């Protein structure tokens, strides 16, 4: 039987990375990031990437592996994560997945279908053609080519049209073919400080501004198109509005805190309903025994 891979997850700003670093320092573990925004080069401060010092100290995979305009989806990440996990195991090193992007983590436990690559230039032309259309029109177009996807939201409708138009094969057909790899058993430590999370989010947002988030965004806008997927990371649109003078720093900070808390709420809902209770332990990062419990849990799988 394939041994379970330990996963530290939880809502944003909960303290996942600190616990993962403590485990890695104690055990020599390799860390695999399951964060859908940390893959993008240059988007550093606002995605709370590990510092250069931390990355020099502990081997991290899944960080700074994509250009901002590249599209990384769950199946693509899971394929890469499998190779990183296998590489660590071949080297005789323990491995720990850490991050809060639920769909990516689920793609390890229950593999998704792999979409074929799409030509970036063709995607850009098609996106420009589809952008003016309202959602009802998009839905009607999807109903004509891939009716099983026509009930979804705007982003999924656009993707369904992209795949069908640029590959000649519908998403539904690809999904029916199923994944080509078996699932990986996972064991989860959910890190959550409870009510203290709200203050953690506010403090981290203030710290990000102190660490140069505004300056990062100003520099990125010189060469990263506004349509690049990397800009979808929480808070970047508000920092861009601050850079343009459309928001004050206080207003931008408040908007980011609200958006981040809403994101954390969605993560908590996913973790509560999607993770099998028998495979989960829960950790309060502020508890005196948090690091000891986390290390003892990890060593069950190392």
What's the CA gap between 284 and 286, in Å, rounded? 5
pLDDT of 250 above 70: yes
Structure tokens at 259: 């958006």
The pLDDT confidence band at residue 184, using thresholds 50, 70 and 90, is confident
According to the model, what pLDDT value does residue 183 have?
A: 76
Higher pLDDT, 272 or 112: 272
Q: Taking Cα atoms as reference points, which of 19, 32, 42, 117 lies closest to residue 77?
A: 32
**What Cα–Cα distance (Å) separates residue 263 from each residue in 54, 84, 98, 214?**
26, 28, 17, 21
Residue 154: its pLDDT value, please? 85
Give the contacts of 33 (CB within 8 A, at least 6 positions apart): 39, 60, 61, 62, 63, 98, 99
More confident residue, 270 or 113: 270
* pLDDT value for 279: 93
Q: State the distance between the two ends of the chain, measured CA to CA, in whole angstroms.
A: 15
Model pLDDT, residue 134: 93
Q: What is the pLDDT of residue 179?
A: 54
What digits encode the pLDDT tens for the residues 91-131? Answer: 999 999 999 999 899 888 876 666 677 788 888 899 899 99
In this prediction, residue 114 carries a pLDDT of: 62
What domains appear along the chain, each with residue ranges and CATH number?
5-113+184-299 (3.40.50.300), 120-176 (1.10.20.140)
Q: What's the pLDDT band for 244 if we cut at 50, 70, 90? A: very high
Per-residue pLDDT band for 286 (boundaries 50, 70, 90) equals: very high
Mean local confidence (pLDDT), 179-190: 81
pLDDT at residue 169 is higher than 80:
yes
pLDDT band at 177 (very low <50, low <70, confident <90, very high): low
- Using the predicted structure, report yes or no on whether residue 178 has a pLDDT greater than 60: no
In our burial notation (b when 16+ CB lie closer than 10 A, e otherwise), range 175-214 reads: eeeebeeeebebbbbbbbbeeebeebbbeebeebbeeebb
| Residue 109, pLDDT score | 86
CA 35, 36, 42, 48 torsion: positive or negative? negative
Identify which has the larger pLDDT, 221 or 148.
221
Would you state the pLDDT for residue 171?
80
Range of weakest confidence among 26-40, 45-59, 156-170, 233-247: 156-170
pLDDT band at 181 (very low <50, low <70, confident <90, very high): low
pTM over 0.75: yes
Q: Strand pairing partners for 189? A: 8, 281
* Average pLDDT score over the chain: 92
Average pLDDT over residues 138-165: 89
pLDDT digits (tens, 9 = 90+) for 18-76: 999 999 999 999 999 999 999 999 999 999 999 999 999 999 999 999 999 998 888 88
pLDDT, position 67: 96
């Amino acid at each position: 039987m394939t041994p379970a891979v330990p996963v530290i997850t939880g809502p944003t700003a909960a303290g996942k990375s600190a616990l993962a670093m403590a485990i890695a320092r104690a055990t020599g573990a390799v860390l695999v990031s399951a964060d859908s925004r940390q893959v993008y080069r240059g988007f550093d401060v606002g995605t709370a990437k590990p510092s250069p010092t931390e990355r020099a100290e502990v081997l991290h995979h899944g960080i700074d592996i994509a250009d901002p305009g590249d599209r990384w989806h769950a199946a693509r990440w899971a394929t890469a994560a499998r190779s990183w996990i296998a590489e660590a195991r071949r080297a005789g090193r323990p491995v720990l997945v850490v991050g809060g992007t639920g769909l990516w983590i689920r793609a390890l436990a229950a593999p998704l279908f792999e979409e074929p690559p799409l030509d970036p230039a063709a995607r850009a032309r098609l996106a420009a053609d589809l952008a003016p259309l309202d959602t009802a029109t998009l839905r009607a177009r999807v109903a004509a080519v891939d009716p099983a996807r026509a009930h979804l939201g705007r982003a999924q409708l656009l993707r369904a049209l992209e795949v069908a138009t640029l590959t000649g094969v519908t998403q539904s057909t690809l999904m029916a073919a199923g994944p080509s790899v078996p699932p990986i058993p996972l064991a989860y430590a959910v890190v959550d400080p409870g009510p203290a999370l709200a203050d953690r989010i506010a403090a981290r947002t203030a710290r990000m501004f102190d660490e140069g988030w505004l300056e990062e965004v100003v520099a990125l806008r010189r060469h990263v198109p506004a349509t690049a997927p990397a800009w979808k990371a929480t808070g970047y649109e508000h920092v861009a509005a601050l850079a343009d003078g459309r928001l004050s720093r206080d207003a931008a900070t408040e908007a980011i805190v609200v958006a981040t808390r809403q994101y954390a709420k969605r993560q908590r809902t996913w973790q509560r309903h999607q993770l099998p209770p028998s495979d989960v332990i829960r950790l309060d990062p502020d508890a005196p025994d948090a690091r000891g419990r986390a290390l003892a849990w990890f060593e069950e799988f190392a």
